[in-house]
Amino acid sequence: MSKPFHKSLLGTLIIIALICIGIYWLFFASLGWITGHGKELSVPSLKGKNLNEALKVLEGAGFEVDLDSTYSPDQKPLVILDQQPEGGATVKNGRTIFLIYNRVSPPNTRMPNLVNMSYRSAEMLLKSSKLLLGDTIMKPDMAQGAVLSQLLNGKEIAAGTQIPQGSKISLVIGDGLGNKQINVPDLSGMTYPEAIAVLSGSNLNYSAVFDGTISDTTTAVIYLQQPEAFNEFNEPNKIQEGDNVDIRIKQSIENGE
């Protein structure tokens, strides 16, 4: 009596082959499910969004997140400056998204030396140092278009000084001497601070000489100037903007001189 087919050697081999084929088919059929094939997501565009908002969006969509930071003075704190992959890219679920956000506290940077640079070069160097351009003050000077001095909060700042990135730096720029003639201001009897204010307002430079003991410059007075305000005919003398006025100062009579 012959054995049933499934108990024969050939039957056994065929059954084993069918089982192997089934396992093979199941493996490759489930491979897409195992690897997430077909479950691709579009990366959201996050540039300009707040960091906390961006994290919620990415984590809610199943992405991993890797963070880094830098500082951009013209952007708000914690705003997303860059991302990889870019917004709109198609990636698999669980992909790591790299975000660069703007720091809250600016790091320090060295103040560059802008004096004698052209305005355009100084502007570019400020930008590369992550500093902002403040006011531009034009001053009569033969170095037309060149930076004469650099100011932070109204005071000159030396090159190499450590200051926060994002600080506003004002520039004094030479405007050329031109041909504009003005009356020489009469400074005689003015206090030293008053005279300096008048000269500055008239776009004139000055050289000061203090005579005798000066106990208080705020009450010291101008007793001599060159050129004088009036000529021998008692007519106003003329001077060119940007020219120099020599002044001599002594302590006022009220302070015992």
- The architecture that CATH gives domain 108-174 is 2-Layer Sandwich (3.30)
Provide the CATH topology of domain 40-102.
Answer: Trypsin Inhibitor V; Chain A (3.30.10)
> What is the token pair recorded at 54?
């961006």
Angle at CA of residue 49, ends 43 and 53, nearest 5°: 80
Tell me how far apart the alpha carbons of residues 253 and 164 are, in angstroms, rounded to a whole number.
47
- Give pLDDT, residue 140: 76
**pLDDT value of position 32:** 53
What is the pLDDT at residue 28?
Answer: 58
pLDDT for residue 117: 94
At 134, list the tokens: 């403040």
Report pLDDT digits (tens) over 165-201. 999 999 999 887 666 788 999 999 999 999 999 998 8
Over residues 23-44, the pLDDT tens digits come to 766 665 555 555 545 567 889 9
Q: Which residues pair with residue 69 across a beta bridge?
A: 101
pLDDT by position in tens, the chain (length 257):
445 545 566 667 777 777 777 776 666 555 555 554 556 788 999 999 999 999 999 988 888 999 999 998 889 999 999 999 988 888 887 889 999 999 998 999 999 999 999 999 999 999 999 999 999 998 877 788 899 999 999 999 999 999 999 999 999 998 876 667 889 999 999 999 999 999 988 888 899 999 988 889 889 999 999 999 999 899 999 988 878 999 999 986 554 44
Number of C-beta neighbours around residue 117 at 10 A: 18
Assigned fold of 181-255? Trypsin Inhibitor V; Chain A (3.30.10)
Query: 61 CB contacts (<8 Å, ≥6 apart)?
Result: 41, 44, 93
Cα dihedral 143, 145, 149, 155 sign: positive
Which pTM was predicted? 0.51
Domain extents in the chain: 40-102, 108-174, 181-255
181-255 and 40-102 share a CATH fold: yes
Calculate the alpha carbon distances from 11 to 1, 7, 23, 25, 216 in Å. Answer: 17, 6, 18, 21, 120
Q: Residue 255: its pLDDT value, please? A: 45
Tally of residues, the chain: 257
Give Cα 178 distance to the centre of its chain.
34
Sign, CA torsion 169/170/172/173 = positive
pLDDT, position 29: 56
In 61-204, which residue ranges form alpha helices assigned H by DSSP? 119-128, 192-201
